[in-house]
């Protein structure tokens, strides 16, 4: 579970930015107790286009990707830390990330800073006896351990552009492997979601096909069944452009293949009696909404089953508001037996209500005149009651993080 995440000098977020999944004591909705914390099951981020919502999403993904991939970097390659570029001050500053999280009821705090394309510092702490204790700290290439003895001599094998945690994982440190597997289990979903992710979850048995299909049927998309074939790609074979565009070309055990997904829809006779079914080529014949829902539902169900974390950027894209509400409610319900967490960005204000979210679950991303994004929660805004009309007040600009429509209308003489 994620406790909180903070970062500094990344993309449009110049200053230190903090995001928390710690529930407020005065709010009683949608949370659970673990270790010494009361944590939220869901959180939503609103804001105008280019306000910083997607950059917040990218900061989380950058942090996780570096943990998973840095041990494979070429030693000569510099890390592109994607600093804030609109103020000269930040070009000479490091980019910093830190996350607190819980794995199997054990608390960890892990972070690192990047400067001049290499790892400047890195730290990992845990709390085995109620107080934070150092596992290791890194300053440049100097690494100081606490009582941590796993991965002997890994320091010598750790490159300047490689995280020590990633190197420890590669050299079979059990603690590092456990932390890395936690971050590997996190699912990130953006607008262009490959359906192959859902198909992979079904093939591996992480989610049950019949359970998945029943939810699809109840969403009134007209599907009654589907099947998938993996078609190996022969050398020199030309791949249909719609398959390339769908992002479903994969590599399985070194052999490239693509998914041929067929869906089945009911066919009726002239008296509207069911008389059979017809095949659809999923990528050619299904709507964009069906494709998005199919691709989204797999990671969502897998997250609930495994008790991991799901980040979704632009959750509302091509998804009906009622379906969006149901998916959020799944995480709030007793179906979420393992306390999985859902964090997402959206423009959909139909779900912005005290009936669905507490004030501590609602966040806003906004950008100032100098191009700096900030992230803040509804709980930080004074005078907002628990039963306020969140949607109306947000659209009226009381919380900020909305487009400056008056300036746009004035420009086109439309006031």
Q: What are the structural domains of the chain? A: 1-186+308-415 (3.40.50.300), 194-298 (no CATH)
Cα Rg of the chain (Å, integer): 23
With 80 as the cut, is the pLDDT of residue 237 above it? no
Asked if residue 355 has pLDDT above 80, the reply is yes
Which of 62-66, 197-201, 235-239, 242-246 has the least mean pLDDT? 242-246
Residue 399 in this model has a pLDDT that exceeds 70: yes
State the pLDDT at residue 250.
Answer: 60
| Cα(33)–Cα(409) distance, integer angstroms | 48
Helix (H, G, I), strand (E, B) or coil at 249: coil
Q: Are strands 309-312 and 341-345 parallel, antiparallel or unpaired?
A: parallel
CB atoms within 10 A of CB 397: 13
Is pLDDT of 321 > 80? no
pLDDT higher than threshold 60 for residue 279: yes
> Between these two residues, 407 and 207, which has the higher pLDDT value?
207
Residues 6+ apart with CB under 8 A from 402: 48, 394, 395
pLDDT at 249: 60
Q: What confidence tier does 341 reach under pLDDT thresholds 50, 70, 90?
A: very high
Residue 324 has pLDDT above 90, yes or no: no
DSSP codes, 35-77: TTEEEESEEEEE--TTSSHHHHHHHHHHHHHHHHHGGGS-TTP
pLDDT, mean of residues 376-384: 93
Span 45-67, average pLDDT: 93
Share of the chain above pLDDT 90, in %: 56
* Residues 273, 279, 281, 284, CA torsion sign: negative
**What is the mean predicted confidence (pLDDT) over 215-240?**
81
Least confident of 120-124, 176-180, 219-223, 244-248: 244-248
SS3 374: strand
Q: Which three-class secondary structure state does DSSP give residue 283?
A: helix
Q: What is the C-alpha to C-alpha distance for residues 298 and 305, in angstroms, rounded to an integer?
A: 11
166 Cβ contact partners less than 8 Å away, ≥ 6 residues apart: 66, 67, 68, 69, 70, 71, 176, 180
DSSP conformation class of 10? B
Q: Is the pTM of this model over 0.85?
A: yes
More confidently predicted of 271 and 165: 165
Contact 370, 87 (CB under 8 A): yes
Residue 225: pLDDT over 80 = yes
pLDDT computed for residue 222 by the predictor: 84
Output the CA–CA distances (angstroms, integers) from residue 121 to 118, 161, 291, in the order listed. 9, 11, 42
- DSSP notation for 173-198: -HHHHHHHHHHHT-EEE-SS--THHH
Predicted local confidence at residue 189, as pLDDT: 83
**CA–CA distance, 388 with 392 (Å, rounded to integer):** 9
**Rounded average pLDDT over 229-253:** 66
**Is 80 exceeded by the pLDDT of residue 402?**
no
Q: Can you count the helices (H) and strands (E) in the chain?
A: 12, 19
Check: CB of residue 176 under 8 Å from CB of residue 70. no
Local confidence band at 263 (pLDDT 50, 70, 90 cut-offs):
very high
Q: How confident is the model at residue 406 (pLDDT cuts 50, 70, 90)?
A: low
- List b or e across 342-369, with b for residues whose CB sees 16 or more CB atoms inside 10 angstroms: bbbbbebbebbbbebbbbbbbbbbbbee
pLDDT over threshold 80, residue 405: no
Least confident of 4-8, 262-266, 322-326, 362-366: 322-326
Q: Which of 48-57, 224-233, 387-396 has the lowest mean pLDDT?
A: 224-233
- From CA 83, how far away is CA 115, in angstroms rounded? 10
Q: DSSP 3-state assignment of 274?
A: strand
pLDDT-derived band at 251, boundaries 50, 70, 90 = low
pLDDT at 190: 77
Q: What share of the chain is helix, strand, coil (3-state, %, to 5)?
A: 30, 30, 40
Please compute the mean of the pLDDT values over residues 64-75 and round it to a whole number.
92
Question: What are the pLDDT digits (tens) for 103-135?
Answer: 999 999 999 999 999 999 999 999 988 899 999
Please state, as a whole number, how many other Cβ atoms lie within 10 Å of the Cβ of residue 197: 17
What pLDDT does residue 243 have? 60
Q: How far is CA 191 from CA 318, 326, 347, in A?
A: 9, 19, 13
* pLDDT higher than threshold 60 for residue 298: yes
Residue whose C-alpha is closest to residue 343's, from 355, 330, 328: 328
d(CA 84, CA 95): 9
What are the tens digits of pLDDT across the range 165-210? Answer: 999 999 989 999 999 999 999 988 876 666 888 888 898 899 999 9
**Residues 377-404: what's their mean pLDDT?**
87
- Contact, 372 vs 14, CB < 8 A? yes
Helix 209-218 to helix 196-203 angle (10° resolution) is 140
Position 360 scores a pLDDT of 95
If one compares 184 and 215, the residue with the highest pLDDT of the two is 184
The CA distance from 328 to 307, in Å, is 15
Name the average pLDDT for the chain.
Answer: 88
Residue 263 sits at the vertex; the CA angle it makes with 259 and 264, to the nearest 5 degrees, is: 155
Q: Alpha-carbon distance 107 to 406, whole Å? A: 47
Please tell me the distance from the alpha carbon of residue 112 to that of residue 123, in angstroms, as a whole number. Answer: 6
């Amino acid at each position: 579970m994620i406790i909180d995440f903070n970062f500094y000098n990344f993309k449009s977020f110049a200053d230190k930015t903090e995001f928390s999944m710690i529930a407020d004591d005065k709010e009683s909705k949608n949370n659970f107790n673990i270790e010494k914390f009361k944590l939220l099951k869901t959180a939503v981020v609103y804001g105008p286009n280019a306000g910083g919502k997607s950059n917040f999403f990218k900061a989380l993904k950058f942090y996780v990707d570096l943990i998973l991939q840095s041990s494979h970097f070429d030693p000569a390659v510099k890390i592109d830390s994607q600093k804030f570029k609109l103020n000269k001050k930040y070009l000479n500053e490091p980019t910093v990330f830190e996350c607190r999280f819980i794995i199997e009821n054990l608390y960890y705090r892990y972070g690192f800073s990047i400067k001049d394309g290499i790892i400047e510092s890195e730290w990992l702490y845990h709390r085995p006896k109620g107080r934070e204790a150092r596992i290791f700290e890194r300053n440049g290439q100097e690494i100081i351990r606490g009582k941590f003895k796993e991965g002997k001599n890994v320091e010598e094998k750790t490159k300047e552009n490689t995280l020590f945690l990633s190197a420890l994982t590669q050299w079979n440190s059990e603690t590092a492997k456990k932390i890395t597997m936690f971050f590997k289990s996190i699912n990130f979903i953006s607008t262009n979601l490959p359906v192959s992710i859902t198909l992979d979850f079904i093939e591996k048995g992480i989610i049950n096909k019949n359970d998945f299909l029943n939810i699809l049927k109840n969403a009134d998309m007209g599907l009654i069944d589907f099947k998938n074939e993996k078609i190996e790609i022969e050398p020199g074979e030309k791949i249909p452009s719609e398959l390339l565009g769908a992002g479903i070309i994969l590599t399985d055990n070194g052999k490239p293949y693509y998914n041929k997904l067929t869906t089945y829809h009911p066919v009726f006779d002239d008296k509207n009696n069911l008389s059979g079914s017809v095949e659809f080529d999923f990528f050619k014949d299904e709507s964009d909404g069906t494709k998005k829902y199919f691709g989204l539902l797999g990671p969502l169900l897998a997250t609930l089953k495994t008790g991991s974390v799901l980040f979704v950027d632009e959750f509302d894209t091509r998804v009906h508001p009622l379906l969006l509400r149901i998916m959020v409610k799944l995480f709030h319900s007793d179906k979420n037996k393992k306390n999985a967490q859902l964090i997402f960005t959206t423009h959909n204000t139909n779900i912005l209500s005290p009936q669905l979210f507490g004030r501590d679950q609602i966040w806003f991303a906004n950008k100032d005149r100098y191009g700096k994004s900030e992230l803040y929660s509804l709980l930080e805004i004074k005078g907002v009651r628990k039963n306020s009309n969140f949607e109306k007040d947000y659209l009226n600009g009381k919380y900020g993080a909305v487009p400056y429509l008056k300036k746009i209308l004035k420009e086109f003489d439309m006031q």
